[in-house]
Amino acid sequence: MPMQRSVFVSGSSYLRWLQIIVYGSVILYFGRDVFIPVSFALLISFVLYPVCAWLERKGLGRLTAILVAVFILLILGLLLLTLLVSQFISFIDEWPSLQSKLSQSIDDLSQMLIDVFGISKDKQKEMISKMSDQSGGNMLTVIRNTISASAFSAVLFLLIPVYAVLILYYRSYWMKILYRLFPNERNESILELISLTIQAYYNFIKGMAIVYLVVGTLNSVGLLLLGVPHAILFGFIASVLTFIPYVGIIVGSLLPITMAWITYDSVWYPVGVVAIFTFVQYLEANVIFPLAVSNRLHVNTLVMLQVIFVGGVLWGVAGMILFVPFVGILKLVADYNPKWKTLSMILGTDNGKL
């Protein structure tokens, strides 16, 4: 009987956790328009808090320090965006000349399909016609979704800084709420955990910014030496996409590989792009990342990929970006709390051998 009771209690505990996961996922999915800007603002406030605290120690008022920190962040973001937009506009300006080369490449590909696979031009036209019919029916939906996403992004761009300012300004009030939510925990323990989380995440983001800057620079220099047009644009896009393990670098390399193939009509230039990205990725994993990120959030790769997938399902691209640091923060909390040792082991890494 005691064993049966123990199994029953354990089963009830698992069922309760399953219900929490299901209900939580439903709430996150249908409340994403509310949670996404708040989540971005929360993470930004984590990054800006050490800067705000330093400015306040220098004699600035709390609101002034917060506004200065947010303004500096916005200026840096706008400078980066301006650089990428200028590169993209330059890419668009060269599109007519690239279009003729692309047409020639398509003709060469069509001839290869005839010579190698025996697919006639009529059959190719039939296949393209079917694909056009299928995509044409969804074109209006794609345009409508694009406009909707652009409008939502514009609203987010306005809301997120406001939310970040409010979170930072009323941070003492939020701490009082946390103390009331966890009355069984000592206030000092909660404050220490929050401070540890903010400091670790701040160091992580600062290190990742250095990683993206160095990797983007190396990618751009390599593409420039190879003679690939718009090297800076392609180099930094590939750098930012490395936040997705393994998949990101592959996606980021497709556009410069295609551009190199169209521009030079030689297989060796795309091979050169692959070689450059592979070498830089090796440096990033083994040299740049360990040196730049001293406080890495140790989440194992399997969990990271699953988190990115779940984030994409629930919140789209924003979820793919936000869920990774949230799981990293959850790992920090689990490491701090002995009762969550199992969760810490599930999320963490183990280099030991069997």
Token pair for residue 58?
């220098």
Residues 312 and 13: their CA atoms lie apart, in Å, by 28
Q: Print pLDDT tens along the chain (354 aa).
A: 454 554 444 556 667 777 888 888 888 888 888 888 888 888 888 888 888 989 989 888 889 999 999 898 888 878 877 876 776 676 676 666 666 666 666 666 666 667 666 666 666 666 666 655 554 445 455 445 555 555 566 667 778 888 989 999 998 888 888 888 777 777 777 777 788 777 777 777 777 788 888 888 888 888 888 888 778 878 888 887 776 666 667 777 777 887 777 777 677 778 888 888 888 888 877 777 666 664 455 677 777 778 878 888 888 877 877 887 788 778 877 877 777 777 778 877 665 444
The pTM of this model reads 0.66
The predicted structure's pLDDT at residue 255: 77
8-state DSSP, 245: T
Task: Give CA torsion, residues 209, 214, 219, 222, to 10 deg.
Answer: 170
Match 């009030």 to its residue by tokens. Answer: 173
Check if the beta carbon of residue 276 is closer than 8 Å to that of residue 219.
yes
The predicted structure's pLDDT at residue 135: 47
Token pair for residue 213?
């800057």
Sequence length of the chain is 354
Going by C-alpha positions, the residue among 132, 180, 317, 347 that lies closest to residue 240 is 317
Domain boundaries, the chain: 35-92+100-169
Match 């031009």 to its residue by tokens. Answer: 121
Token pair for residue 77?
């973001």
Token pair for residue 161?
């800084």
Residues 47 and 296: their CA atoms lie apart, in Å, by 15
Residues 281 and 272: their CA atoms lie apart, in Å, by 14
Token pair for residue 82?
């301006």
CA angle, 27 then 146 then 309, to 5°: 45
Question: 90: Cβ–Cβ under 8 A, 6 or more apart, which residues?
Answer: 230
Residues 329 and 9: their CA atoms lie apart, in Å, by 30
